[in-house]
DNA sequence: CGATGATAATCAGTAATACTGATTATCAGG
DNA sequence: CCTGATAATCAGTATTACTGATTATCATCG
């Protein structure tokens, strides 16, 4: 806490006091990254006791929504690449939450199914996820929360559709 | 592209067609993470030719804004932990963009200074950063862009002030 | 029918990132 | 001067996801 500035005049002091940088707070990139990190942390923390990481929850949710689909399809939904999906499905299989069964029409593929146990776990996980988000967003008005979701959705849809997206996975 | 669903009826088809999952698109956590990843990619891509990664740009910006401060202080501004800062400052020093000088009052600390070269590079980098953001956000109205920034700022300030924040760095 | 090119899952190796913990030098307070 | 805290650093580790190669299978075309 010793020195603050060596050669700058002590003027503007807004959030800067908190150790935040005014110019970075104007960069959507910085803001997105930091808020994404924080909410993910909250997810990990709350889903942890259930034996799930956020990535597992994402995959289970997709399976619940779309029914049994292949690993490749799941990857496209959650934007995780094929090699990473192998590990995630391995994890979930070890936990007894999914099963790889043979695909009815394509023997190269695995049809991934949720187990009964997964359905129970998912119910709890959905609940936790909602509570994480509620808590994380509680500093916003309900209107802002809705706006945020809509705007982000627009961004994500725009940036994960055309392009090379769907081939890749980085998440 | 073979199977879509094995046991779900083919009804809802909105963004799902694009391989996106309806239920995840309702999770702010998922949306934040995916949009953060995409914009960071854009940053890396555009700053790359300048020899900078996004993390370097953040540090340089803070130094420009706050004047010479210690590594620890920089870390608190950009939320990067002390051990990681060592490497970032090493990088920047190698590139001739910053110098570690002795701190006027605390010999444990290093006072980190921008070089003249850094100031030139930063001018270009700011320009590129603005263009990255403009491009990334162009699918939104100007009003939405502003709302997004304000809302995110509120989130970041809320989640990086009290708490244990400032001790940590994950970004 | 048989060859060719594409696709699904997998594995091995690699790179990037950031953490924990220990170390050294230094500070601040009694 | 002794003690506890702090700044920077380093070594080791964990996480994460990538690239590229491999194997099995599919789909097409002649």
Contact B79, B86 (CB under 8 A): no
Lowest-confidence range among A7-16, A70-79, A112-121, B153-162?
A7-16
How far is A82 from A72, CA to CA, in rounded Å? 6
Looking at the complex, report in whole angstroms how far the Cα of residue B1 sits from the nearest Cα belonging to chain A.
8
Model confidence at A17: pLDDT above 80: no
B30-48 pLDDT, tens per residue? 999 989 988 988 999 899 8
DSSP assignment of A8-25: S-S---TGGGGT--TTGG
Which strand (E) or helix (H) includes residue A27? none
CATH no., domain B43-159: 1.10.10.10
Note whether B29 and A132 are within 8 A (CB): yes
Q: Which residues of B touch A70 (CB under 8 A)?
A: 2-3
Please provide the CATH number assigned to the domain covering A33-159.
1.10.10.10
pLDDT-based confidence at residue A18 (cuts at 50, 70, 90): low
- Return chain B residues 113..152 having CB < 7 Å to nucleic acid strand C: none
CB of A11 within 8 Å of any CB in chain B?
no
- On whether the CB atoms of residues B24 and A59 are closer than 8 A, the answer is no
Q: Is the CB of A28 under 7 A from strand D?
A: no
pLDDT at A53: 92
What's the confidence (pLDDT) of residue B19? 62
């Amino acid at each position: 806490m010793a020195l603050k500035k060596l050669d700058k005049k002590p003027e503007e002091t807004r959030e800067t006091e908190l150790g935040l940088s005014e110019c970075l707070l104007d960069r959507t990139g910085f803001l997105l990254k930091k808020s994404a990190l924080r909410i993910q942390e909250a997810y990990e923390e709350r889903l942890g006791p259930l034996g799930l990481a956020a990535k597992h929850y994402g995959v289970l949710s997709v399976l619940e929504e779309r029914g049994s689909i292949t690993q490749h399809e799941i990857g496209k939904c959650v934007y995780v690449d094929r090699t990473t999906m192998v590990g995630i499905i391995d994890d979930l299989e070890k936990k007894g939450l999914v099963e790889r069964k043979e695909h009815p029409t394509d023997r190269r593929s695995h049809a991934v199914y949720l187990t009964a146990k997964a359905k129970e776990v998912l119910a709890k996980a959905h609940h936790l996820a909602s509570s994480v988000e509620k808590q994380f967003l509680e500093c916003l008005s309900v209107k802002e929360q809705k706006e945020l979701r809509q705007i982000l959705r627009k961004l994500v849809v725009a940036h994960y559709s055309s392009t090379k997206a769907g081939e890749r996975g980085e998440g």
